[in-house]
Amino acid sequence: MNYEPVIGLEIHVQLKTNSKMFCSSPNNPDETEPNRNICEVCSGQPGSLPVANREAIRKAILVGLTLGCEIAEHSKFDRKNYFYPDLPKGYQISQYDMPLCGRGETEIVFEGQKRKIQITRAHLEEDAGKLIHEGRTSLVDLNRAGIPLLEIVTEPDFRSPGEAKIFLQNLRNTVRYLGVSDADMEKGHLRCDANISMRETGDIDLPPYKVEIKNMNSFRAVEAGLEYEMRRQSEALGNGEKLISETRGWDESNGLTLAQRAKEEAHDYRYFPEPDLPLMNFPKKYVQELRASLPELPMQKLMRFIGEFGLPESDAQTLINDKNLAAFFEETVSELQEWFKEEGMPSDDEKKFAKLASNWIIGDYQALLKVSDVTPKESRVKAENLAELIKMVSRGEVSTTAGKKVLAVMFEKGGDPSHIMEDEGLRQVSDEPAIAAAIEKVVTANPQAVSDYMAGKKQAAGFLIGKVMAEMQGKANPQMVNKLLEKRFTR
C-alpha cells in the first residue's frame, strides 16, 4: 500500500525590537550574562503590569501581509496557562481566538511547479526563558523571557519534506527583507515544529492522528526529521499498527525521532483573555499604509531576475537568499548596462553579461565572502569594479584565470582592477607575432607531440597549447593560441 505525507508547520519568528514584548527590558538574544536583561514584568513579579510593544505589533502585521493574511480589525491577547520552570508567571501571554493575522494564502515554487500554501493564522506571543543544565543542577536564565515571537501556523498543505524546506527558506528570506528578524535557525531566531501524518495515496481526508516533531534547528534537520517520520509511520501503518497523536523530538546525532509526550489540545491550556491588556484596534487606513510600505519581496525578486535578466532559477534563488548579495548583483548589472549604452551594444548582450555577473558573484566572489566571513556590504569589492573586471575579461585584456587573481587582490585590498592587472603583470598578451614565435619554439622542442597533433589526437593539442601558455608565463590569449596553432599546421 502506498502512503503520502500530510504536513503542516508551526513556526516561531523572533522579532527584532529594542525592548521585549510587554516590558522595557532590552531585547538582546545574544546576551551571555544570565538574567541581565530582566525586570519585574518579564520575571513575573507580583503586581507588575504588561504594556504591549507597538513596534512588535507593526512588524507582525507586515509579515502577515506578505503571507496574504487577513489583518484583524480587532485583536486581543490571552493567557495560555501551563507550568514550566523557565516560565516565571506560570502562564504565557499569547493570542487565541482573535489573532492579529487571520487566514491567508501564499505560494512556493518547488521543482519548477507553483504550489499554494494556506496560512491558518499568525499571532504574537512572548518567549519563555531558558534552562541551563550543569550536571545534576538546572539553572534558569530569563534573558529570553518576554522576547516577542510571531507564531505562524500553516494548514497541512505540504506533500513532501522538500516543500516544507522551501517554504521555510522563503519565510526566512521574507522576514530578512522586511528587516523584522535575523531569522537565524542555529541561534533560535527562527524555530520550526512540524506536524506530519500519513494517509493512503489519493485519499482526501485528514488522518485521525498527527505527530509533532520538535528540536529541529536547521533547514536540513526539518527535511531529515520529516523524511524519517515518513518512513517510520509508513512502516507502522503497513504493519497494521494504530498511530497516536504525540510529540517527538528530533535526535540529530542518530538521525531519528524519539517519543516525548502525548500531544496537548487547546483546552489543556485553559485560555482566557489577558485582563491587563486592552483590546487592540487596527483601522483599514493603518493597514493600507503598512501594505504600501512593503519592499520588493524575495519571490517577486526571484521571478524578476528570471524574467528580466534571463537567469536560471537556481542562480536567481542563490542570489535572493541573501538580500545584500542580490543588491550587489543588481548594482553590478546596472554598471554593465551603462557600458552597453556607451558602446552601443545590442540589448541581447545584456542577458549574456547578467549571466556572467551572476557566475562571478555566485562563484569566486561568494567563496571569498564565506572564507573571510564578511558580508557584501563589508567587502572591499565595489560593484563598479567587478563590472570593470567582467568587461576586461570579455575584451580579452585579462584571462579568466588571471581575472580570478585580480578579484582576490580586489577583495583583500580594494582598488581598480585595471591598476591591479598592471601592478601584478597579469595583462593578457594578444600580440600575434609574439604568440607565433612562442608556438615555433614549442613545435621545435616537441616533435612527437606535433606528430600526434597532426594525427588528430586531441590530447596533443592540449599539450601544445599548455606549453605555449607556459612559454608566455600564462599571459597569452588562449583563443589566439589555438587559432594560430591551427593556422600553423594548415598553411
pLDDT in tens, 195-233: 999 999 989 999 999 999 998 999 999 999 999 999 999
Q: Across-strand partners of 138? A: 133
Calpha distance 315→333 (Å, rounded): 14
Q: Give pLDDT, residue 488.
A: 72
Q: Give pLDDT, residue 1.
A: 74
Q: Across-strand partners of 353? A: none
pLDDT at 138 over 60: yes
The residue with greater pLDDT, 425 or 25, is 25
Least confident range from 142-151, 179-188, 228-237, 440-449: namely 440-449
Residues 305/317, Cβ–Cβ less than 8 Å:
no
Over residues 23-44, the mean pLDDT reads 95
Taking CA 211 as the corner, what is the angle to CA 205 and CA 216, rounded to the nearest 5 degrees? 130
110 pLDDT tier (thresholds 50, 70, 90): confident
CB atoms within 10 A of CB 166: 21
Residues 336/357, Cβ–Cβ less than 8 Å:
yes
Q: Give pLDDT, residue 395.
A: 80
Q: Across-strand partners of 51? A: none
Over residues 75-83, the mean pLDDT reads 95
Residues 216/192, Cβ–Cβ less than 8 Å:
yes
Question: 288: burial class by Cβ within 10 Å (0-12, 13-18, 19+)?
Answer: exposed
pLDDT at 430 over 70: no
pLDDT at 450 over 80: no
Range(s) within the chain of domains with CATH label 1.10.10.410? 432-488
Calpha distance 31→471 (Å, rounded): 59
Least confident range from 261-265, 269-273, 308-312, 403-407: namely 261-265
Q: Give pLDDT, residue 311.
A: 94
Q: Across-strand partners of 71? A: 101
| CATH 2.170.150.20 is held by the domain 432-488 | no
Over residues 415-424, the mean pLDDT reads 84
List, for residues 387-401, the tens digit of each pLDDT value. Answer: 999 998 888 788 888
Phi then psi dihedrals of residue 126, to 5 deg: -105, 150
- 61 Cβ neighbours under 8 A, 6+ residues apart: 71, 100, 101, 282, 287, 290
pLDDT at 64 over 90: yes
- Least Cα distance to 44 among 113, 125, 130, 142 occurs for 142
pLDDT at 432 over 70: no
60 pLDDT tier (thresholds 50, 70, 90): very high
429 pLDDT tier (thresholds 50, 70, 90): low
pLDDT at 165 over 70: yes
The residue whose grid cell reads 581598480 is: 416
Least confident range from 84-88, 311-315, 414-418, 433-437: namely 433-437
In the chain, % of residues over pLDDT 90: 69
434 pLDDT tier (thresholds 50, 70, 90): low
- pTM of the prediction? 0.83
pLDDT at 491 over 60: no
DSSP label of 429: B
Quick check: helix, strand or coil at residue 238? helix
Over residues 182-200, the mean pLDDT reads 94
DSSP string spanning 33-68? Answer: STT-S--TTTTT-TT------HHHHHHHHHHHHHTT
The residue whose grid cell reads 607531440 is: 449
In the chain, % of residues over pLDDT 70: 93
Calpha distance 230→104 (Å, rounded): 27
321 pLDDT tier (thresholds 50, 70, 90): very high
Q: Give pLDDT, residue 474.
A: 65
Calpha distance 134→140 (Å, rounded): 11
Mean per-residue pLDDT over the chain, rounded: 90
pLDDT at 449 over 90: no
Q: Give pLDDT, residue 452.
A: 75
The residue whose grid cell reads 508551526 is: 10
pLDDT at 431 over 70: no
160 pLDDT tier (thresholds 50, 70, 90): very high
Over residues 156-164, the mean pLDDT reads 96
CB atoms within 10 A of CB 380: 13
